[in-house]
């Protein structure tokens, strides 16, 4: 394989630049010409490609975001989108593609592979909502960012003896809430996988008050189905305790990637080059049982994850 | 003066614990007995005092929040509140009080001094909205916290080429927005002191786009009079540019205090002890022209600040 | 098992407090009385025990160091040390012990188990030099601390176009150097597992200069066998390039634990209680293949690790 | 004035890039052509100039180091150096220069002004050792960096109940040590301005031990005249207390500039442009009494600073 391209798509995640660096440098080390595509699938259709050299990816390893820019694909998923993209790549002599993104980007990658174009997929999303891999690139950084926010919020929450609801990202997956809740010592964690009744929440706050606990942190994932403002009002009305909400929002997307995310991104990027070199047609790369691995892209897209309830139980015990 | 007390009141600010440490250790060094009051003026009325020793304030210098807890005073400002508090302090033999808080706490201090009780006031609020002092304790930390958030938000804002509105605290004063905007390279800063028309905002975004600027950061202070969601909708409708809002909220209140806030708090705390020892009756302590100073409490409460428009002009030039 | 104790021993590591919290709260949840031992094995011999309750471990999850204090054991490893310690625990009715520390502490745990006393061992060291577990508690935090230092050093190293040697901890294991080197984009990593000749180092620096690379970061592990000052002089003499050394030293030991270390510590602590409850006699707890696991203590102590040379090769490719 | 240049010289300091941004954008706003000089005075002699535009200084405000590179001047201070530099600038039509650096760079600026060339000097050094200004650009960031290191070191120092000596930069000025010592709660601070006898140090450590203080932090400035290893040995021999040293070294030079440094740098840069526009011939810009100001360059170079002993006394009281 002489000429490859890569793109970042969908929501950005910390570690995308580390993956870009690995793809470019490992690709060149294998004698490939490597092209970056701007703005994800949009750029793929528009032919917005740029040749990249080793020095183009210097000093980006520690940066959040993506130097290639990213975008939600508008036209690519429409009929003929994949064919158009393959035609564009054909005219440039591109023989393989590396796609970095989340579940939407993964579906895009599938359409290209279905149409016969080799694609390697790297799991880049803070949400950790790709079932085929234990961890996605950006997740560890996002959890640490939430922890940093929790520690700041704890100062003022404790000084005012109030309940604070921290709303974190996670529409489909509650992993950010769950990991940050366990690592941050949250009393209660609300996620899409586990939506306790409101009565559970305020009763737990009341129980804490009766034990002399003067402040509590509650982590609420976007996708928990319980609106933070409703939760806030409900807790105040049932416990008489001042309650405030902080929505971390896009804060969670940025920041310098953690060591773990940089290393995961670097290994995944290197693996993508190795697989393209070996003539693989369509793979998803990730981490399973502590090891970097690759599997068939379509099988990966079909995976579903069983939530691990033992974490919720442990949080229960620890916050009793 | 043999026996003094101190309290933290209103919204907490980083550096309160540094001020507490200075008051306790300098007070004891002057041969005073020092008592901490829990939960601000509420604790003053309830007689919730605790004798504090040097070791009680060890390892707190770097902590956000306040080890004394703080509260909004409900009963103290009612008629007879001050008299009741002075009576409580009388029974305990307390001869002087140090109050740490914002403008509300300052008014509380005034009522005590009016009733003849010696009070030294320390400006503890992140908002920098006390006109008599150039800086309040906690302001520098809050600005640095906002900067840290801006740098994270800039990663994703740039990757998605979107406009991001960062809503910061500041009901009466736009200083957090103004300083963080200048130090964070924001394109536009909206504050209570300067509320540009919406047309100014979207025209500036458009001008940036025409210059090839692909993302912008706008800082909106709570008290700017322009709701962030309205601003978001307005920018999107006039520029067609994806716009998102992040509300930093209570994040800005917490965190380990910066060097500047710890030093300012320490000097102010030491000054309060010196003034009580010298028999002063009612002073506000702060920083003016780079120096720690004290002035009559009532004069301080009557000060008004002229906003410094040169900063806005400089931001204009730098973000052109 | 009705009454247990735990101690932290040897060099402290970030996450020890998270493990303490889990042991105390999970132990109490199982109906046990839990005692903390001060200053490691020294306190075990001295009978320096303290009963711990749920509230004693509040607000420590995010703190570096150990609330129990730690010490290198002077007397415990002498003949009769273990017997003496078991006698002390016997008088207090302690039926099981949780030991948190590194390899020296593990040997101490073995002597207790040999003498018939049940001990669960938690791998708490930043060095990641316990072969039986993929990761030790504190390692991830230390690597992130080194990364933060590298990013600061890179600013000035790049501004001055100089070579900077960053000396990190790791007498027996080069993992901190290796992971931080890969995640920090270091050009060269020197470890106990791989000690390149000096000629390799300066030739690589020269090759970089010839490619137009104006500054380099070299990570040197304590145990690499190459003294940093000798390396500094050697590079300067062969390349004529200004070279400076920064020794990170104890900086790497402290700091708030990362999410990964807090979660690993929490799971390991919970596992220790579960195993004691089940009547296990002597286990080492750790993480293998991404999962928390336990194995026979003596087998664990006998494990040896094969260094993974693929990381070195990848660093080669990426820094070429 | 139609065409100006600027350079960064000597040791880099956080905020240099913020000053560069202000000089470029304010200069262009005044209708000037602005040129950056690479590698300080070396580049001035070598004619290593580059025209800079608004977009060239985008996204640098928050970066440590300097995008222009910096160097110690070898040839410039030799006879004829200034004349040669002025000749080079003459051929390029450069009519004014902005110099950013420390005391050595200031002397270089003086030689240019003596030779009749207009120069505006910005105080860029972390050491705060320029007597004419209350603060230098980079000082606040360096102090906060040292504070962050102290808080990490305190974790392990406390866990091991040991004395830790933190060696910080400052050959001529002890301000980093003094401010970080006060803000970090150090027990003892050793500086060029105040070099206590060794007996004072170990006696204070002993006194602390007798008060039950189990660990201490001592800040030792490079220029204190007391070598850290000698101090370490001396404390151990007189107190029997384990003592360790951490040398922060170049860590203190890097990192993203603090809010205060970015704002100071921005105002100083803007002021330099204003002064050049007004036809000033040679000025040093800085902050006095909380305000940005400028004074005659030669008078500034002749200033000497009286150390403020009140800070030492306050540290005494607080660490008693």
| B46-59 confidence digits (pLDDT tens) | 999 999 999 999 99
> Do A260 and C291 count as a contact with CB atoms less than 8 A apart?
no
Residues 6+ apart with CB under 8 A from A230: none
> Do A317 and C61 count as a contact with CB atoms less than 8 A apart?
no
Q: Are residues B131 and B68 in the same domain?
A: yes
Q: Are residues D274 and D288 in the same domain?
A: yes
Q: Which of B254, B287, B311 is the last residue before a domain boundary?
A: B254
> Do C159 and D66 count as a contact with CB atoms less than 8 A apart?
yes
pLDDT average, residue stretch A12-38: 98
Q: Are residues B103 and B187 in the same domain?
A: no
Closest CA to B174 of B221, B126, B213: B221
Q: Which residues of A make CB contacts under 8 Å with C?
A: 18, 21-22, 25-26, 29, 54-55, 59, 61-62, 134, 140, 143-144, 147, 151, 158, 179-180, 182-185, 212, 256, 258-260, 262-263, 266-267, 270, 287-291, 314, 317-318, 320
Relative orientation angle of helices B175-184 and B309-318, to the nearest 10 degrees: 30
Q: Are residues C24 and C68 in the same domain?
A: yes
- The predicted pLDDT at position D210 comes to 87
| Mutation for testing the C interface, residue in D9, D63, D100, D160 having most C CBs under 10 Å | D160
User: Residue B307 domain-assigned?
Assistant: no
Is the pLDDT at D1 greater than 80? The verdict is yes
Q: Which residues of D make CB contacts under 8 Å with B?
A: 18, 21-22, 25-26, 29, 54-55, 59, 61-62, 134, 140, 143-144, 147, 151, 154, 158, 179-180, 182-185, 212, 256, 258-260, 262-263, 266-267, 270, 287-291, 314, 317-318, 320
Q: Are residues D119 and D35 in the same domain?
A: yes
What is the CATH classification number for the domain harbouring D61? 3.40.50.450
Report yes or no on chains B and C touching (3+ CB pairs under 8 A).
no
Model confidence at B307, in pLDDT bands (50, 70, 90)? confident
Q: How far away is chain D from the Cα of B76, in angstroms, using its nearest Cα?
A: 33
Burial string for D95-133 (b: 16+ CB within 10 Å, else e) reads bbbbbbbbbbbbebbbbbbeeebbbbbbbbbbbbbbbbb
Query: What phi and psi, each to the nearest 5 degrees, are found at residue C19?
Result: -70, -40
> Do B318 and D287 count as a contact with CB atoms less than 8 A apart?
no
- The predicted pLDDT at position D191 comes to 96
Total domains, chain B: 2
Q: How far apart are CA C130 and CA D2, in angstroms?
A: 66
Q: How far apart are CA D27 and CA C150, in angstroms?
A: 34
Q: Count of CB contacts below 8 A, B vs D?
A: 108
Q: Are residues B48 and B81 in the same domain?
A: yes
Q: How far apart are CA D82 and CA D88, in angstroms?
A: 10
User: Residue A318 domain-assigned?
Assistant: no
Chains in contact with B, where contact means 3 or more Cβ–Cβ distances below 8 Å, are A, D
What is the CATH classification number for the domain harbouring D162? 3.40.50.460
The dihedral region occupied by D267, where left means phi > 0, alpha psi between -120 and 50, and beta the remainder, is alpha
| B158-180 confidence digits (pLDDT tens) | 999 999 999 999 999 999 999 99
Q: Are residues D200 and D96 in the same domain?
A: no
- The predicted pLDDT at position C243 comes to 96
Q: Are residues A196 and A71 in the same domain?
A: no
For residue C96, the number of C-alpha atoms closer than 13 Å in the C-beta half-sphere is 26
Model confidence at D189, in pLDDT bands (50, 70, 90)? very high
Cβ proximity of D57 and D27 under 8 Å: no
Report yes or no on chains D and B touching (3+ CB pairs under 8 A).
yes
- The predicted pLDDT at position D276 comes to 98
Q: How far apart are CA C11 and CA D256, in angstroms?
A: 31
Of D144, D212, D317, the CB nearest to B259: D144
- The predicted pLDDT at position D213 comes to 83
ipTM of the complex: 0.96
For residue C182, the number of C-alpha atoms closer than 13 Å in the C-beta half-sphere is 27
- The predicted pLDDT at position C65 comes to 95
Compare all CA atoms of chain B with the CA of A254 and give the residue at the minimum distance. B152
Closest CA to A246 of A135, A133, A181, A149: A149
Query: What phi and psi, each to the nearest 5 degrees, are found at residue C292?
Result: -70, 135
Compare all CA atoms of chain A with the CA of C257 and give the residue at the minimum distance. A183
Q: How far away is chain D from the Cα of C289, in angstroms, using its nearest Cα?
A: 30
Question: To the nearest 10°, the Cα dihedral for D114, D115, D120, D121?
Answer: -60
Q: Are residues A17 and A123 in the same domain?
A: yes
Integer CA distances (angstroms), C235 to C164, C198, C258, in order: 10, 8, 35
Catalytically active residues of C, by annotation: 127
Residues 6+ apart with CB under 8 A from B90: none
| A114-165 confidence digits (pLDDT tens) | 999 999 999 999 999 999 999 999 999 999 999 999 999 999 999 999 999 9
Q: How far away is chain B from the Cα of D141, in angstroms, using its nearest Cα?
A: 9
pLDDT averaged over chain A?
A: 95
Decide which of B208 and A283 is more confident: A283
Closest CA to A10 of A89, A96, A103: A103
- What is the mean pLDDT of each successive set of 10 residues along chain C, which is 320 residues long? 95 97 98 98 96 95 95 87 96 98 96 98 97 98 98 93 96 96 96 90 91 90 96 96 96 96 98 98 97 98 91 91
Closest CA to B140 of B20, B261, B313: B261
Task: Look at residue B37 and give its three-state secondary structure.
Answer: strand
> Do B61 and D183 count as a contact with CB atoms less than 8 A apart?
yes
Model confidence at D52, in pLDDT bands (50, 70, 90)? very high
Residues 6+ apart with CB under 8 A from D208: D187, D216
Catalytically active residues of D, by annotation: 127
User: Residue A191 domain-assigned?
Assistant: yes
Q: Are residues C128 and C160 in the same domain?
A: no
pLDDT average, residue stretch D230-254: 95
Compare all CA atoms of chain D with the CA of B150 and give the residue at the minimum distance. D62
Residues 6+ apart with CB under 8 A from B192: B170, B171, B172, B173, B174, B221, B223, B224, B225
Q: Which domain holds residue D46?
A: 3-138+257-302
Chains in contact with A, where contact means 3 or more Cβ–Cβ distances below 8 Å, are B, C
Residues 6+ apart with CB under 8 A from D60: D17, D18, D20, D21, D67
Q: Are residues A59 and A132 in the same domain?
A: yes
Q: How far apart are CA B48 and CA C85, in angstroms?
A: 45
Model confidence at D296, in pLDDT bands (50, 70, 90)? very high
User: Residue D129 domain-assigned?
Assistant: yes
User: Residue A313 domain-assigned?
Assistant: no
User: Residue A316 domain-assigned?
Assistant: no
Q: Are residues B155 and B195 in the same domain?
A: yes
Integer CA distances (angstroms), C144 to A257, D63, D282, in order: 10, 19, 46
| Percentage with pLDDT > 70 across chain D | 100
> Do C155 and D70 count as a contact with CB atoms less than 8 A apart?
no
Q: How far is CA A97 from the centre of its chain?
A: 20
Of D29, D179, D259, the CB nearest to B144: D259
Decide which of D117 and B305 is more confident: D117
pLDDT average, residue stretch A72-81: 88
> Do A21 and C318 count as a contact with CB atoms less than 8 A apart?
yes
User: Residue A25 domain-assigned?
Assistant: yes
Total residues found in chain C within this entry: 320
Is the pLDDT at D197 greater than 90? The verdict is no
Q: How far apart are CA C176 and CA C139, in angstroms?
A: 7
The dihedral region occupied by B31, where left means phi > 0, alpha psi between -120 and 50, and beta the remainder, is left
Q: How far apart are CA D225 and CA B70, in angstroms?
A: 46
Q: How far is CA A300 from the centre of its chain?
A: 16
Total residues found in chain D within this entry: 320
CA angle D222, D223, D225 (to 5 degrees): 105
User: Which pair of structure tokens corresponds to residue D90?
Assistant: 């003459």
User: Residue A314 domain-assigned?
Assistant: no
Beta strands in B10-154 (DSSP E): 33-37, 49-52, 96-101, 119-123
| Percentage with pLDDT > 90 across chain B | 91
Compare all CA atoms of chain C with the CA of A29 and give the residue at the minimum distance. C317
Q: How far away is chain A from the Cα of C11, in angstroms, using its nearest Cα?
A: 22
Is the CA virtual torsion A296, A297, A302, A308 positive or negative? positive
- The predicted pLDDT at position C73 comes to 77
> Do B263 and D179 count as a contact with CB atoms less than 8 A apart?
yes
Of B134, B258, B318, the CB nearest to D144: B258
Q: Which of B235, B254, B273 is the last residue before a domain boundary?
A: B254
Q: How far is CA C286 from the centre of its chain?
A: 12
> Do A255 and B63 count as a contact with CB atoms less than 8 A apart?
no
């Amino acid at each position: 394989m002489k000429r490859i391209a890569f793109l970042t798509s969908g929501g950005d995640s910390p570690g995308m630049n580390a993956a870009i660096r690995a793809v470019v440098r490992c690709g060149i080390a294998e004698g490939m010409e490597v092209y970056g595509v701007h703005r994800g699938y949009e750029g793929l259709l528009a032919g917005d490609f740029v040749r990249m050299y080793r020095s183009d990816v210097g000093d980006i390893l520690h940066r959040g975001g993506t130097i290639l820019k990213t975008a939600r694909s508008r036209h690519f998923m429409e009929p003929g989108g994949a064919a158009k993209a393959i035609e564009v790549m054909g005219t440039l002599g591109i023989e393989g593609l590396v796609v970095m993104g989340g579940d939407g980007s993964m579906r895009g990658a599938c359409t290209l592979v279905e149409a016969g174009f080799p694609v390697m997929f790297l799991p880049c999303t803070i949400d950790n909502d790709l079932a085929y891999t234990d961890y996605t690139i950006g997740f560890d950084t996002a959890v640490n960012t939430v922890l940093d926010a929790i520690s700041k919020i704890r100062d003022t929450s404790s000084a005012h003896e109030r309940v604070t609801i921290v709303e974190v990202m996670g529409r489909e997956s509650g992993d950010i809430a769950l990991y940050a809740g366990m690592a941050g010592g949250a009393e209660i964690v609300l996620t899409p996988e586990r939506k306790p009744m409101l009565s559970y929440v305020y009763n737990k706050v009341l129980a804490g008050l009766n034990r002399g606990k003067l402040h509590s942190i509650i982590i609420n994932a976007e996708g928990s189905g319980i609106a933070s403002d409703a939760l806030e009002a409900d807790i105040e009305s049932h416990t008489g305790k001042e309650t405030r909400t902080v929505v971390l929002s896009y804060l969670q997307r940025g920041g310098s990637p953690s060591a773990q995310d940089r290393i995961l991104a670097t290994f995944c990027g290197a693996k993508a080059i190795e697989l393209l070199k070996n003539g693989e047609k369509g793979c998803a790369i990730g981490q399973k049982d502590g090891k970097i691995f690759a599997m068939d892209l379509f099988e990966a897209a079909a995976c579903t994850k069983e939530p691990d309830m033992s974490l919720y139980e442990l949080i229960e015990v620890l916050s009793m």
